[in-house]
Amino acid sequence: ADLHIKSQDAPITQITDEGMAQVLKLGSLTKLHLEKVDSIGPAIFSTLARHKSLKTLTIRSCPQLTDTAIAAFKKERPDVTVTR
Range of the domain at 67: 17-83
d(CA 71, CA 58): 14
Overall domain count for the chain: 1
- C-alpha torsion angle, residues 51, 37, 35, 28 (rounded to 10): 20
The neighbouring-strand residues paired with 57 are 32, 82
Give the model confidence (pLDDT) of 26-43 as tens digits: 777 888 888 888 888 888
pLDDT of residue 57: 92
Residue at 12 is within a domain: no
Between the two ends of the chain, the Cα-to-Cα distance in Å is: 35
- CA-based nearest residue to 79, from 62, 57, 61, 59: 57
List the CATH number of the domain containing 34: 3.80.10.10
> What whole-number distance in Å separates Cα of residue 36 and Cα of residue 61?
5
- The pTM assigned to this predicted structure is 0.77
In a domain? residue 76? yes
